[in-house]
Structure 1
Amino acid sequence: MRCRLLLSALAAIATAADPPVATSYDYIVVGSGPGGGPLACDLARAGYPTLLIEAGTDQGDNPTYADMANFNEAANDDATRWDFWVKHSDDPARELKFEHMTWDSGDGTFYVGLDPPAGAKQLGIQYPRAGVLGGCAMHNGGVCSLPQDDDWNIIVNKTGDASWEASKMRKYLKKIEKNDYLAAGNADHRYTGWLSTSTSDATWAKNESLPMTKILKEMARLTGQNPNDTANLVNRDILGAYTNKDELTSFFSMVQHADKSGKRSSPNNYIRATLADPAKYPLTVMLNTLATRVLFNTASGSTPVATGVEIMQGGSMYKADPKHVPGSKGPLVQLAAKREVIVSGGTFNSPQILKLSGLGPTAELKGFNITVIKDLPGVGEQLADNYEGSVLGLGQVPVDGGLITMMFRTNATAPTKKRNIFTWCGAFSFEGFWPGFPTYYGPNQYTCAMVHMSPKSQAGSVRLRSADPQDVPDINFNFFLNNGDRDLAEMVEAGELLRKAWQAAGAPVLPFKELHPCPGTNAGANCTDASQAEHYKLQAYSHHASSTCAIGADDDPMAVLDSKFRVRGVKGLRVVDASSFPVVPGAFPVLPTMMISAKAAEDILADAGTR
C-alpha cells in the first residue's frame, strides 16, 4: 500500500492531530538524514512497510534549502536549525578564549565574542545541526569527497568483514550517484542514481592575468604540481578512482551534491520521489515527531529484542530547536516494528537515544535511574571530528577568480605518505559557526579554509544531562587532547604554505592584511610556529562529528556495533549514520554516510528472513 507523508509544513498533507497510518511496520527508521533517509527508501522500495521518523519539517520546496547557493542562510535559519552548544575542552579558561563563544544576552539576542555584557549566560560553542526532512544534507555546503582507503579498511582490520574493503566500497557511490559533471560512459561513476553530483565552472583558471590564477600556479609550485597545467588540474575529478589516490597531492574540482542548475540534491529528494512513485512503495514519513526511546522485549530469551519506538508528537519538542517553548510536551505514542529498528539520529542524537533506551555505560544510566538493558561503555564515547581552521586576509583590491580546491600532504609534519589537508581558497570568509555566521569583511576578503584529515585524537564524548528525551546532551570534543602537538604542527605547516602562495597575487592585490592566524601585513615576520599553533588550538572549529556508536571488534569493550551495524548485545536494532564510523571518514562525511546507508540497506535486506 502507499502511505502518506504526514505533517508536511509546506505541502500541508496532514494535520498535527493525524495518527500514523499504521501502528506496526516491518522497519522503523529514526532520523531522515544521510544515513536514515536513503535507508528507509531502500527498504520500502524492496517491498517492506517502513516508517521514517523525523523531528523536523519538510523544507524541500523552500529556496533557502533547495538552492545550494543559500547554504549559509539555511544553516542560520531557525525554521530548521538545532543549536548544540558544545565544549572543546574541560578547561573553562581555555573555552573563554574562543573568539566566537556565544552567550544569551537575556534580552532575546545572542552575544558572540570575548567581552559579554553583564548578566549574560554562557551558552558555548555553536554546533549547528538541522531538524528537517533530509537532515544536515539540507543545510550544508554540499561538498563531496571520499574517505581514505584506510578509513574503510580499518573496519576490515577490526572486524574481519571483507565487505568493507576500500576496493569494494566504491560500488555504493555508483549505486546512489547521478553524475552531472562527466560525460556518460565513465565506468567509475553512475548516471541514474538518486543523488545528483555537479561541479562549478573553472574556466577562470585559463586567465593567467587573474590574481587567483597567479595564486593557483604558486600553490602548484609549492606542492610539486605542474604550474603550466593548472587550468586542467582544477578539473580533476575529486571522486575519481586513482591508483594510490590517498597519496595524490593535486587540485580538484569541487563536487557538490547538487544538480547542474544548482538545486540541492539530498535524501529529501529521494524520500519525496519514493513517496510519489507510481509503484506505491510502502513508506510512511512522520514529521514533527521526536523519538524518545527504543522499546525492548526482555521477557523472552536471554537477549533483549527491539520491538519498536516511543515517540513524542508535536513541533519543536527538542530543546536544541530555537523555537522550543519551555515546558511544552507532546503526547507519547508507542509504535511497533515487526523486524528491526534502525537509529539514524546522527552523532549526537543516536547515542542519546541509545542511552535513554538503556544501552550505554552502566554507571551513567544508573545515575539517571534508567533501567540498564545492556552495558555498552562505548556509547557516546570516542567522539571524533576533523580539525578546521583558516588563513584569512584582506587584499588591497578584490582577489578576482574562482574557487581553488586542493588536497595535499604537509611534507615536514605528515606522519605518513598520505594527504592530510583539504583546502579551498577564494574570495569568501569562513571561520566556523556562531549565530549569524559568517562575518563579511568586504569585497577584498580572501580565505584559504582547511580541513585536517585523519586527526589523531578522538577523545570527545556525548553524555546525558538527564533522562528527559527533550534535553540536549553534554557534548565535549576534547580537541587536541591526544597527540595534539602533532596535529597542530600539520595545521601550522599547511597555513604557512597557503600564506606563501598568497604572495603570488601581485599588484594591485598586495600587500595582504592578514587577519588570522598572523595579523598584519608582514605576517611571516610577525608570527611564530608556536603562536600559530596556539591560535589553531584555541580557535579550531569543526562540523564533521563521528564515531560515538562505532563499529568495532568482538573483543573491544568500546565497540557499539558489529560490521553489519547491529547493536551489540541486543537483537533487532542497528545504528546507521556518521556515529557508526570508527574514525572520521576523510575530509567531509556526508557522501561516505550516504554510501554506508546503501551498504546497510544491502546488509539488512540480506538478513530480512531472520531476526
Structure 2
Amino acid sequence: MRYRLLSALVLSAVTRLAEGAPAAASYDYIVVGSGPGGGPLAAELARAGYSTLLLEAGGDEGDNPTYADIQNFNEAANDEATRWDFWVKHSDDPARELKFEHTTWDTGDGTFYVGLDPPEGAKHLGIQYPRAAVLGGCAMHNAAVCALPADDDWNIIVNKTGDTSWSADNMRKYLKKIERNEYLAAGNPDRGYDGWLATTVGDASWAQNSSLPALKILKTLASLTGQDPNDVANLVNSDLLENVPNVDEKQSFYNMATHSDSKGKRNSPNNYIRATLADPANYPLTVQLHTLVTRVLFDNSTKPRAIGVEVITGPSLYRADPKHDREASDLPPTTQIFAKREIIISGGAFNSPQLLKLSGIGPAAELAKFNIPLIKDLPGVGENLGDNYEGSLLAIGQSEYPVESGLITLLFRTPNAPDNRRNIYTWCGAFSFEGFWPGFPTWHGPTQYTCAMVHMQPKSQAGTVLLRSSDPRDTPDINFNFFKRNGDQDLSELVEAGKLLRKAIASASDTFVGPFEEKHPCKGPLGTEGCGDEVEKEYYKTQAYSHHATSTCAIGGEKEEMAVVDSKFRVYGVEGLRVVDASVFPVVPGAFPSCPTMMISVKAAEDIIEEAKKTPVV
C-alpha cells in the first residue's frame, strides 16, 4: 500500500506566542517540552509566581479542528503539521522485523509504501511510532483515554525510594487537583470538579437495546468475566476512574473516560498553557515555539549544575519531522538561555534521554563514542524502555449488515496472569485499529468489528534509546526489544485474551450480522477455537504494536545502578536539573500514560515550589 505524504493544511492560530528569541535572557525555570509532563508543570510554576520559559519544538494547533475535536484523533496522529516520525525496531532480528505487516518504506517519490513487498529501490524505514511536536505534546493527537495505573505501579516508587508521597492513596489527590469532571454528580470526594482538565464519557444507552447483535457480544463478555449478563446496561456505565477496594483485581465493564469535554473538544496541557497566558493575573509564563534544545549548559566549577540551555530556532528542525529540509547539513546558529533556578526536561521517553546524552549525562562509553564531554556517567539513561503490547482481533461480517454497536470497554484478567491483577484493557466496536503506520487505519468495510487490547504489566522492559550521532537534529536509534525477557509469559497472556474476545464475537455469528470471517490473529471463518496457541503467539510476537513508551529516565533509589532520577525528579549526580515526563516511570503505568503523566507533572510542581521556598537563588 502506498500513502501520500500529508501536507499541513492549517497553520497556527496563536501567533502571539514567541517564535524567535525569548523576551528575557534569564528565567527562574526553563521547561523543555510542553506535553503532559512539561506543559502543566510550566503553568503551575508560573502561577506560583516564578518566571518560567516553556520551550516547544513545534507550533500551536489549539484552534485547529483536527486537534481540537476529539473525534479527529486519527487524522491528528497522521497530520504532517505536527507529526514526528520515529522509525523504531521491535527486536535485533532483521528477519523478524521484516515480518511486521505494516513495515514502512520510503519510495523516494514523496510517498510511503507500507507492507511486505516494497517496490524496487525503496528504502527501509522501519515501524512508525508517531509523536506530536505541538503545544500540548502527544496529548494533542492521542485518543485521550484517561485511565489510572494499578496501585502497585505507584507503590513501586515508594519501595524503591522510601518516598511515601508516591503511594497510590496519595497520588489520587493529583487526579482530583487537575480534573474538571463533567460526567459524575458533584460531591464525589475522590474526584475533582474545578481543575483545568475536563473529563467526560460517551453515551452508553445503546446497551439498553436488546435487538442489537452487539448486545449478545456484550452479554457473552459479561459471562466470561464473572459479571451479570442481565445487568450489562448498568455495568457499561461504571466509572473507569473509580476508587474502590481491590479495584485492580476487579473484572468489569466501564464507560471509557477521556480528557475531553461534553461538547467533544479535546482537553490537554494546551488548554492549561493558553489559559495561563490569557489570565488577567499576568502570570510570568513565556512560551517559545519552534525551538529545538540542543543541549543543557552546566557550571562545572564544583558539582555540575545546570544553568541554561542551548537552542536553535525555526520550524521543522528535527529530522523526525517529515517537513525537515533534508538538504540542510549545517547546524543553524545557536542561542543560549539561562535559568536562575533549574532546567526541567520534559521531552518524553525518546527525546529526554537523547537530550541528557547530548548534554553529557548518560553511559560514559556511549558518550565517548560520539566525543561528547562527560558530565555524569549514568548508565540508566536511555535504558529500561518499556511499553504496553497492543494487538487486536478483527472480524469481518459476511452479511450485508454492519454490527451496530456502541463502544464496549472491559478490563479483565486472563487465567494465566502471574498475579491477581487484571492485565488486559480491551475496547470493542465497529471500527478498525491495527496499529500505526502512515495513513492508518485501514477501512475494512461497513461490516468490520474489532476488539483492540492493551496488555498491562508487561514483563519485558528491555528497550533502548541510543544516540545515532552528536547532531541534535538526528533521531535516536530506538529498539523496544519486544518479548526479550519473559516473552513467552506475555505472549501466552495475549493469546488467552484473544481466546476470550473470539468467543464473545463468535456469539453474534448466529444473528443477522453473521457469520464472521476472522482477519487476525487467525485467518478464516471465526469460530471459538482459534488457530492454535503457537500460531497465535507467533502472530503477536511479530505483529504487536505500541504507543505508550515510558521509563527511559527511570526513578530509582540512590544506590540503584540504573536509576536516573530520584523521587523528586532530580537527576542523580548533578544539580539544578530534573526530568518530568513519562520517561521517569520505573514501569509502564497501566494501560494509558497520558493522565498519569499529567498527575506527576503537578506533583513535580508541588515538589519544586516547596523546595524553592526554602532555597535562595544561587
Match in the other structure for 1:217: 219
Match in the other structure for 1:415: 418
Secondary structure of the 2:507 match is helix
Would the alpha carbon gap of residues 237 and 522 (structure 1) be closer, same or farther in structure 2, given more than 3 Å must change? Answer: closer
1:111 paired with 2:113, answer: yes
Cα deviation code 1:57-115 (max 9, x no counterpart): 00000000000000000000000000000000000000000000000011111000000
Q: Which amino acid aligns with 2:552?
A: T
Secondary structure of the 2:524 match is coil
Give 5+ residue unaligned stretches, structure 2.
Answer: 1-10
Determine which of 184, 190, 193 is the counterpart of 1:191.
193
Secondary structure of the 1:155 match is helix
1:89 paired with 2:91, answer: yes
Deviation at 1:330, TM superposition (A): 3.3
Deviation at 1:524, TM superposition (A): 4.2
User: How far apart, in 2, do the equivalents of 1:514 and 1:477 lie?
Assistant: 28
Determine which of 266, 270, 273 is the counterpart of 1:271.
273
Match in the other structure for 2:284: 282
Q: Which amino acid aligns with 2:496?
A: E
1:344 paired with 2:346, answer: yes
Deviation at 1:315, TM superposition (A): 0.5
Match in the other structure for 1:563: 567
Instruction: Say whether the 8 Å CA contact 2:295–2:310 is kept in structure 1.
Output: yes
User: How far apart, in 2, do the equivalents of 1:400 and 1:168 lie?
Assistant: 42
Match in the other structure for 1:38: 40
Would the alpha carbon gap of residues 522 and 262 (structure 1) be closer, same or farther in structure 2, given more than 3 Å must change? Answer: closer
Deviation at 1:208, TM superposition (A): 1.2
Secondary structure of the 1:593 match is helix
Determine which of 406, 409, 421 is the counterpart of 1:405.
409
Determine which of 465, 468, 471 is the counterpart of 1:465.
468
User: How far apart, in 1, do the equivalents of 2:166 and 2:87 lie?
Assistant: 34
Match in the other structure for 2:485: 482
Cα deviation code 1:431-454 (max 9, x no counterpart): 000000000001100000000000
Determine which of 463, 477, 492 is the counterpart of 2:495.
492
**How well do the aligned residues superpose, as a CA RMSD in angstroms?**
1.0
Instruction: Say whether the 8 Å CA contact 1:101–1:114 is kept in structure 2.
Output: yes
Q: How many percent of aligned residue pairs carry the same amino acid?
A: 70
Deviation at 1:391, TM superposition (A): 0.1
Match in the other structure for 1:519: 523
1:322 paired with 2:326, answer: no
Determine which of 215, 227, 249 is the counterpart of 2:251.
249
1:80 paired with 2:72, answer: no
Q: How does the TM-score come out when normalised to structure 2?
A: 0.96
Q: Which amino acid aligns with 2:311?
A: I
User: How far apart, in 2, do the equivalents of 1:57 and 1:481 lie?
Assistant: 37
Instruction: Map 1:528-607 to 2 at 5 A.
Output: 528-607=532-611
Secondary structure of the 2:464 match is strand
User: How far apart, in 2, do the equivalents of 1:563 and 1:499 lie?
Assistant: 43
Instruction: Map 1:434-445 to 2 at 5 A.
Output: 434-445=437-448
Q: How does the TM-score come out when normalised to structure 1?
A: 0.97
Cα deviation code 1:291-323 (max 9, x no counterpart): 111100001x2x100001111111000000000
Match in the other structure for 1:388: 390
Instruction: Say whether the 8 Å CA contact 2:18–2:289 is kept in structure 1.
Output: no
Match in the other structure for 1:450: 453
Determine which of 9, 14, 33 is the counterpart of 1:11.
14
User: How far apart, in 2, do the equivalents of 1:522 and 1:578 lie?
Assistant: 39
Determine which of 329, 332, 335 is the counterpart of 1:333.
335
User: How far apart, in 2, do the equivalents of 1:535 and 1:193 lie?
Assistant: 43
Deviation at 1:214, TM superposition (A): 1.1
Would the alpha carbon gap of residues 45 and 522 (structure 1) be closer, same or farther in structure 2, given more than 3 Å must change? Answer: closer
Cα deviation code 1:502-525 (max 9, x no counterpart): 122232112111100011114445
User: How far apart, in 2, do the equivalents of 1:213 and 1:342 lie?
Assistant: 49
Cα deviation code 1:376-404 (max 9, x no counterpart): 00000000000000000111221112000
Q: Which amino acid aligns with 1:242?
A: V
Deviation at 1:172, TM superposition (A): 0.2
Deviation at 1:327, TM superposition (A): 4.1
Which 10-residue stretch deviates more, 26-35 or 184-193? Answer: 184-193
Deviation at 1:213, TM superposition (A): 1.1
Instruction: Say whether the 8 Å CA contact 1:518–1:524 is kept in structure 2.
Output: no
User: How far apart, in 2, do the equivalents of 1:178 and 1:525 lie?
Assistant: 45
Instruction: Say whether the 8 Å CA contact 2:18–2:287 is kept in structure 1.
Output: no
User: How far apart, in 2, do the equivalents of 1:265 and 1:92 lie?
Assistant: 40
Instruction: Say whether the 8 Å CA contact 2:506–2:528 is kept in structure 1.
Output: no
Instruction: Say whether the 8 Å CA contact 1:520–1:526 is kept in structure 2.
Output: no
Match in the other structure for 1:59: 61
Cα deviation code 1:508-549 (max 9, x no counterpart): 112111100011114445600110010000000000000000
1:178 paired with 2:180, answer: yes
User: How far apart, in 2, do the equivalents of 1:573 and 1:229 lie?
Assistant: 52
Deviation at 1:211, TM superposition (A): 1.1
Cα deviation code 1:563-599 (max 9, x no counterpart): 0000000000000000000000000000000000011
User: How far apart, in 2, do the equivalents of 1:108 and 1:66 lie?
Assistant: 28
